[in-house]
Amino acid sequence: MKRIILLCTLVVSAAVHLGAQNRISGLSVFSNRQPIIVFINDVQVCEPTLSCFIANLENDSYRVRVMALSSGRNGMFSPVFESFVFYSGFGVKQIDVTPYIPHENIPNPPYEPPYPPNRGGGYDTGWQNSRGYRLQPMPAETYANLKNKIAECTFESDYERAFDLMVPAYGITASQFRELLSMPSFDDRRKVIARHLVPQIIDIENCNLSKVCDFSSTEKEIHKQLKAELESRKNRNR
């Protein structure tokens, strides 16, 4: 009788163990071609790879940030994706970051753009900017964090660092650009912001620089950048 009970116990334990092994759960982040590095809540969870699996995650929201290998930059990685992702704790949630990698990173890209160009005359998320990215609206929380970073800046170098980890595919509106440009006290700081953000403006034709800059020369310089960006988009998206 004892042998039968022991045998039944071993069978049940084995079944439970095998069942636990078969229940694969976690986040799967992958790219169809370019190597990526994945960060979960600002912690790097993998070395450069095409597919990164993060197991044993609890039911929660996680900040997922992905950097992809940039061609022509001596093996450097650039940010391409950042989002808060909710995971239920069950099964495998897949995140394909291939559509967020710009065409310049992938010779002969093996995928279709996430959205076709808008041929109606607007320069929205369907158009490539001068850096080769099809812009997607920046999440509200990410924009709030960017505002906080800019508010804490003092020197030009501080403003430069504020944009170091900005996802290149994230776009801002013309009104958001005006808001950020109005935050510094000096025009030289505004020029730094413009240099980084002009290519990220989704509705660039709606920009209004009136009464933002201290000097008209600065306003003219930024307006020249806006015009050049608009012309670049027209040429790229013919």
Q: What is the mean pLDDT of residues 53-57?
A: 87
pLDDT, tens only, 178-187: 999 999 999 9
Tokens of 68: 């992809």
Q: How confident is the model at residue 189 (pLDDT cuts 50, 70, 90)?
A: very high
Q: How confident is the model at residue 196 (pLDDT cuts 50, 70, 90)?
A: very high
The span from the CA of 190 to the CA of 181, in Å, is: 6
Tokens of 177: 């650009």
- Whether residue 2 is predicted with pLDDT greater than 50 in this model: the reply is no
The span from the CA of 27 to the CA of 53, in Å, is: 6
Closest residue by Cα to residue 193 from 210, 216, 213, 211? 213
User: Mean pLDDT lowest for which of 111-115, 160-164, 200-204, 222-226?
Assistant: 111-115
Q: How confident is the model at residue 62 (pLDDT cuts 50, 70, 90)?
A: very high
pTM value is 0.53
What is the model's pLDDT at position 158? 92
Strand partners, 69: 77
- Whether residue 16 is predicted with pLDDT greater than 70 in this model: the reply is no
What is the model's pLDDT at position 69? 82
What is the model's pLDDT at position 238? 63
Q: What is the mean pLDDT of residues 71-87?
A: 78
**Highest mean pLDDT (candidates 37-41, 53-57, 73-77, 101-105):** 37-41
The span from the CA of 161 to the CA of 228, in Å, is: 24
Closest residue by Cα to residue 126 from 110, 112, 141, 140? 112
Closest residue by Cα to residue 82 from 123, 142, 6? 142
DSSP state of 53: E
Q: What percent of the chain lies above the pLDDT cut of 90? A: 29
What is the model's pLDDT at position 119? 35
Q: What is the mean pLDDT of residues 81-94?
A: 87
Q: How confident is the model at residue 223 (pLDDT cuts 50, 70, 90)?
A: very high
Q: How confident is the model at residue 195 (pLDDT cuts 50, 70, 90)?
A: very high
